[in-house]
Structure 1
Amino acid sequence: MTVPEKPALSRLFRMQWEEAQNSYVLLYPEGMVNLNQSAAEILKRCDGKHSVPDMVAELEQAFDQRGLQDDVEEFLRAASERGWIS
């Protein structure tokens, strides 16, 4: 499955901080997905405005890391397959 050029969170899902879980969660009508920090940081940037290269550049700068392209694209492919992004 391909990753959208400018991914956006699907309308069926809502991401929010859940104090009880002490993490970000992805809410949908049938349940909830507990997100790790990396997943949350990527999904925060899935606003339909950021391109994948822009997202990677922001993440690499924010976390003082290099070489995140493959990991970000792999996560986005999985998120797309699950219907989290479009």
Structure 2
Amino acid sequence: MDPTPTGTTQTNTRTRSVVGVSGSDRPRLARHVRMTFCRTRQRQILLNPETVVVLNGSGADILELCDGRHTVAEIVTELGARYQAVPDDEVRQFLSRLVARRWVELDDG
């Protein structure tokens, strides 16, 4: 069990990048993060309590599949079906950076 910032405990959820991202992890956006379309920028954005992050196309495609049901391996496979080549390590690095910022949480597969 991992302690959350409020002092409560949460089972099978990791929010630290130290752990790494495995193919069986099921990523999902953290509760305080929302992905939406910004009409002004004509792009997908992540809304955090004090931050707006403008996503590029591939970042938005990855996060679109981060629903807590898809594993990282399934996300890579799905993106591979859409595009010619999807490097597994780049998807994991992207997710690791978001886990480190606590924008994405990982449920154990």
Q: TM-score, normalised by structure 1?
A: 0.92
Structure 1: any 5+ residue segments left out of the alignment? none
Counterpart position of 2:67: 47
Structure 1: 4+ residue segments shifted above 4 A: none
Q: Which has the larger radius of gyration?
A: 2
The residue identity in structure 2 corresponding to 1:85 is V
- After TM superposition, list the pairs within 5 Å mapping 1:1-86 onto structure 2: 1=17, 2-3=20-21, 5-63=25-83, 65-86=84-105
Q: Is the deviation greater in 24-33 or in 45-54?
A: 24-33
Q: Distance in 1 between matches of 2:79 and 2:86?
A: 10
Q: Which has the higher strand share?
A: 2
Q: Is the deviation greater in 12-21 or in 27-36?
A: 27-36
Structure 2: any 5+ residue segments left out of the alignment? 1-16
> In structure 2, do the counterparts of structure 1 residues 22 and 67 end up closer, same or farther at CA, with 3 Å as the change threshold?
closer
Q: Distance in 2 between matches of 1:84 and 1:67?
A: 22
Q: TM-score, normalised by structure 2?
A: 0.73
Once the two structures are TM-superposed, the CA of residue 28 in structure 1 deviates from its matched residue by: 1.4
SS at structure 1 position matched to 2:26: coil
- What is the number of residues matched between the two proteins? 85
Deviations 1:3-42 (A, max 9, x none): 2600010011000011101100001121311111111000
